[in-house]
Amino acid sequence: MIDACAAHAGDDGRAPQVLRTRTVARHVLRIYLPQVRSYAGSTGDLMNLRQITMKESTVVTAVLRLHIIGAERGCRNASEIEHRLPAEYERCLDEVERTFARYPLRLLQVVGRSRGLSCTRSTGRSR
């Protein structure tokens, strides 16, 4: 979200008044794509990126699928996939966007042991 805000900041440096789910989805896809490849775990077994609280994530699964398809076609990053495999790119972007539209970020986050973020007002007090 910070990357999306920074990329769409006004000339005065302020964050945009409106940030579309499609914009957030694009940034998430670009950031997640290089991270979804398999890694060697401590036992030497291959492991995939996963969310902390869930074994499977819709977003990670969609981006992993795109990564695999892109790698099979020789694509090295999101930009190459978007240009060479536009239908696959859009399909993944749709899935990521649907997830963010369905589950607002404050519901997707876990802080400490509680689900959801605590919001603060300009007075500094928690809501």
Residue 59: inside a domain: yes
In angstroms, the CA 113 to CA 116 distance is 10
- 8-to-13, 49, 59, 105 alpha-carbon distances in Å: 9, 28, 23, 18
Whether 79 maps to a domain, the answer reads yes
The answer to whether position 32 is within a domain reads yes
Residue 101: inside a domain: yes
DSSP readout, 99-111? Answer: HHHHS-HHHH-EE
Domain-embedded: residue 120: no
**Tens of pLDDT, residues 56-109:** 788 889 999 999 999 999 999 999 999 999 999 999 999 999 988 887 665 555
- Residues 16-48: pLDDT tens digits? 888 888 998 999 999 999 988 877 888 888 877
Q: How many CB atoms lie within 10 A of CB 64?
A: 21
Query: What total number of domains does the chain contain?
Result: 1
User: Is residue 75 one of the residues assigned to a domain?
Assistant: yes
Q: 103 in a domain, yes or no?
A: yes
Identify the domain containing residue 12 by its residue range: 2-115
**pLDDT: is 17 or 54 the higher one?**
17
